[in-house]
Amino acid sequence: MKTAFTYATRRSLLALAQCRALARDLCSVVPTLTLRELQIVTTGDRIQDRALAEVGGKGLFVKEIEEALLDGRADFAVHSMKDVPGQLAPGLVLACVPKREDPRDVLVAPRYGTLDDLPRGARVGTSSLRRAAALGAYRRDLVVQVLRGNVDTRLRKVDAAECDAIVLARAGLVRLGLEERVTQVLPVQVSLPAPGQGALAVECRETDSPTRALVAHLHDPEAATCVAAERGVLIAVGGDCKTPLGAYAQRVDDKLHLLAFVATVDAKGVRHAERTVPWPATEVDAQAVGFALGGFLCAG
């Protein structure tokens, strides 16, 4: 039985924190396990001076890592689910979705606190068109600044007053032990999360049975079902970093509740939709629910 595996990851502090936490969880379940780490600098990591929408979208964070899986340098990869495109490279699968962290966006505004307390014309930093659209829909007077870089870089910029506030994923701050920097958790009605936000994606070769069996120990069916519905919206809309798109699914009793929106870049054309359906029997069924809702958004 195979006991040594190699996982691939980006080199950012957040990527390393979340994949090493997952590695520890795997080792606690399989004590005889040996794991090796392969760090990869992706195109998305190398380009820090432009918005992702200008340079190719979210696939820039996974392309080189998927190549490492396909050529056998790594057995599995750990991604932030929101960075994973709707279509994987041929021959690869999402073999595990672990328990999900809080998917909501948060505001870090050390001098003001909340979105409502920001003064007129306040500068809010984000590299996400989705967040920019949400901010524009909520308060058109805010000035959205393109802000790239890792979490530490963004926090330093708001601390240095290069902007008045920044919007980040709460999950990333929690995983880095920086949750105390949050000044406001944004309601999903204000800033709907990106599809898969807060979840991790463990990707491997479709035919690699030993690896699939290993990572299955951490698979969370409820998280996977919700993420599948959200990614169904993503696939239907053809969403990438050039598309302001949000989707959030949750289980409410024995039902799946799915919220979604798509917007024009200037936030003037924002279309919302939601569905509540019986809890899907499979992830494929959940994706179909999201795909149908995404089709409705596109039709509008």
- Mean pLDDT of each 10-residue bin along the chain, 300 residues long: 94 94 97 96 66 57 92 96 92 98 98 97 93 92 89 94 96 96 97 97 98 98 98 88 88 97 78 96 98 90
Per the annotation, the verdict on 83 as an active-site residue is: yes
Token reading at 144: 């959205």
Q: Do 1-98+199-219 and 105-185 have matching folds? A: yes
In CATH terms, 220-300 corresponds, of 3.30.160.40, 3.30.800.10, 3.40.50.720, 3.40.50.620, to 3.30.160.40
Position 240 scores a pLDDT of 61
The topology under which CATH files domain 1-98+199-219 is: D-Maltodextrin-Binding Protein; domain 2 (3.40.190)
Nearest CA to 57 among 299, 269, 288, 237?
237
Position 46 scores a pLDDT of 64
CA distance 18 to 15: 5
CATH no., domain 105-185? 3.40.190.10
pTM beyond 0.75, yes or no: yes
- Domain chopping of the chain, boundaries: 1-98+199-219, 105-185, 220-300
- Tell me which of 83, 105, 208, 240 is the catalytic residue: 83
CA distance 194 to 103: 8
Position 38 scores a pLDDT of 97
Position 53 scores a pLDDT of 54
Position 95 scores a pLDDT of 97
CB 71 within 8 A of CB 63: no
CA distance 292 to 286: 10
CA distance 214 to 26: 8
How many other CB atoms sit within 10 Å of the CB of residue 282?
12
CB 255 within 8 A of CB 278: yes
Nearest CA to 133 among 244, 259, 297?
244
